[in-house]
Amino acid sequence: MKKSRITAAAMSAVMAMSVLTGCGGTNSLAPKETTAKAAAATTAAGAESGAVASSADIVTPAGEFPIVKEPITLKVAAIDETYVGALGDVDFCKWYEEKTGIRIEWQEIPRDGYKEKLNLMLSTNNLPDIILGMKIPTSDVASYGEDGTFLMLDDMIEEYGVEIKKLMDEDPNIKGCITSPDGHIYALPLINDCLHNQFRTRAWINQEWLDAVGMDMPKTTAEFEAVLQAFKDKDPNGNGVADEIAMMGNSLPKNNIVTWLMNAFIYMQASDLQDPSTLYLYMGDDGNIEFTPNKEQYKEGLKWINSLIEKGLIDSTSFTQDDTQFKQIIQDESAVKVGVIRADLICSYAGEYNGTDDHRVSQYRVLEPLIGPEGFQYQPSYLYASIQPGQFVITSSCEYPEAAFRWADGWYDEEASMMAWYGQEGRGWVQPPEGSVAMNGGAALYQRLPVDGSEQTIRITNKFGNNSARLRESEVYLENEPTQKYSTEPILYFACRESLVPYADTSRVVPPLMLTREESSEISNIRTMIDDYVEENQALFCLGTRDIDKEWDAYVKEFEVLGLDKMLEVYQAAYDRQYK
């Protein structure tokens, strides 16, 4: 592998400190007690003392390593992932320190409660030099950028940016996703090329059950209902007991049965992991942002789902059971129990290929979005999921901002991102066979080595894990053997590419919305109340607890009380400001 290719992957591994999985989160952190004036005074004092000039003097030209002419130390706050060893001991971190000439003093914060710790840091102005991988909401990036707590990166990108410029050239959406409402950039993103993150609304059907009942893959809602009825009545698991569950989901948003089935009736955008503000929203024909759960088509979808539950074709616990219960049923050792699984990640529930004696995961195939009674068909997507903003900021406490920026820019390099995510060559991965083809159809970049058993320890101390800047899962070479074919990434990649991508209408996707802190504060409670109200009534209507024909008008009217119009007004203003 050429060094230039390897180098572009490195930043992947540190900046994704938040677990994988768009742009524009809006859940703001609490306002900090220090004022913009105090932050500005701190910055001015630094300028008067000559810190800015001296920091630039010690940096080598863009693209050269080491980054600094003499060793320096930077303090970096990052999330302590349980599956990664102490960051100072990780092989990648040692290698990158030697490569850059920058020693890192890690401040590792446990994932549980990290947002509170981050908020405390910001509110007390007790800041490290760099905050890494904490997925800071865009409204907070903008606010803390404007008051000087987070340093503006525009000039540094222009003078020192090498890898981030390449990425912006490759994907023009990146710049828009990380630019604040004032027109400046204060944070760098994680870049994650996993196709499945863009198409998370998925359901999986058991192909062996289809074969057993002699039916084809269903295309329409009518065919789907007929398949579910056959699964319920014809003993497809062959154990002579009526123990089959035709379809089941669980209470997690990513496994919600409504957000998958509803797309046969109306655009139903499920919650994106990076931008929850897109939940239930879509772009209308006139360029205005529309809300799904108060539309007549949504009502018809709920009525159909209710009829399936009443017929025993969808398990009613889909609205209440947790992940543990869900997994236990799907992995029941006595027999396969579930025909259609509404799940984002099938391997998380059916297990990896060797996770069950019957290699259960290999029995399931992803379903194409269903065609509804009026001919409607839609696959939700989030095209900006590969760009996860707010992952790297330089604070006003940093004495060497230029060096800190170049340290971050270097993470996007292929060599660094391969080291960070997959470990050292020969330990976490090897060169692929010459001329081999990757999952995405291009030239393969690497071939993974197994990490089971004792090898897991090597992997933990050898790589940086999800704490990355750029992930390149689709560039892997796969051997033609089941444990690789039915591992998580290949299953999801090919399922999305072949069965979901063709049905996505990108014109309906609400793009990243960069809200100001004021806008975010104005609608934060409204958004929460509306989401809770929709979720509660989905269950009530689908289970028949609330009569949808008698109470639909009252249900719709309640959105006025909750502030739906104000929420849509704020989102529309942000959209118009950015895209019109």
The tokens for 175 are 């710049």
- Determine the Cα–Cα distance for residues 403 and 393; give it in Å rounded to an integer: 13
Per-residue DSSP letter, 545: S
Tokens 């960069």 identify what position? 514
- Determine the Cα–Cα distance for residues 291 and 571; give it in Å rounded to an integer: 11
Low-confidence ranges of the chain (pLDDT < 70): 1-54, 82-85, 271-276, 450-472, 477, 479-483, 485
290 has which bridge partners? 282
| Top-level class of domain 3-196+386-421 | alpha beta
**At residue 321, what is the residue type?**
Q
DSSP string, 524-559: HHHHHHHHHHHHHHHHHHHHTSS-HHHHHHHHHHHH
Domain 200-380+490-580, CATH: 3.40.190.10
Whether the bond into 66 is cis, omega within 30 of 0: yes
What residue ranges do the domains of the chain occupy? Answer: 3-196+386-421, 200-380+490-580
Helix 163-170 / helix 401-411 crossing angle, nearest 10 deg: 50
Question: Are 103 and 97 contacting, i.e. CB atoms less than 8 angstroms apart?
Answer: yes
CA-based torsion, 337, 340, 344, 346: positive or negative:
positive
Q: How many whole angstroms from its chain centre is CA 40?
A: 34
DSSP string, 9-61: TTHHHHHT-SPP-------PPPPPSS-HHHHHHHHHHHHHTTHHHHHHHTBPP
**pLDDT at res. 450:** 66
**pTM reported for the whole predicted model:** 0.81
CA distance readout (Å), 48 to 44, 126, 310, 362: 6, 22, 73, 65
Q: Is 454 exposed, middle or buried (0-12, 13-18, 19+ CB in 10 A)?
A: exposed
438 Ramachandran zone, left/alpha/beta (phi>0; psi -120 to 50): beta
**pLDDT at res. 341:** 98
Question: Are 253 and 380 contacting, i.e. CB atoms less than 8 angstroms apart?
Answer: no
183 Ramachandran zone, left/alpha/beta (phi>0; psi -120 to 50): left
- Determine the Cα–Cα distance for residues 63 and 168; give it in Å rounded to an integer: 16
